[in-house]
Structure 1
């Protein structure tokens, strides 16, 4: 199990916001709604890098996929 945890890279909310090109408030909304998994450390959140990659692939965090023709 230690090997699994050592392979996980956690990002701060600010880092996630920069990668997703959204505001930190948007990242907090995604975390609180459960759309973006996160772990709470004290008063801050850390998001697994793999979860950000998954969210970007699925179009979460922006308006992609929400527009209809």
Structure 2
């Protein structure tokens, strides 16, 4: 794998550690649900989906 792609994956990992850190999660902790789901769950799963999609795009470019 090229160094450039490795660096992108490391940066993505650091961003996900920050995104799933407790102080940031507490910002989304609300008693009111959105579409029947707690807002913190929507935030966690959307961040997780974003990281999967971004990782897929980085890896896909590597193999082209």
Higher strand share: 1
TM-score, with length taken from structure 2:
0.29
**Structure of higher CA gyration radius:** 2
Higher helix share: 2
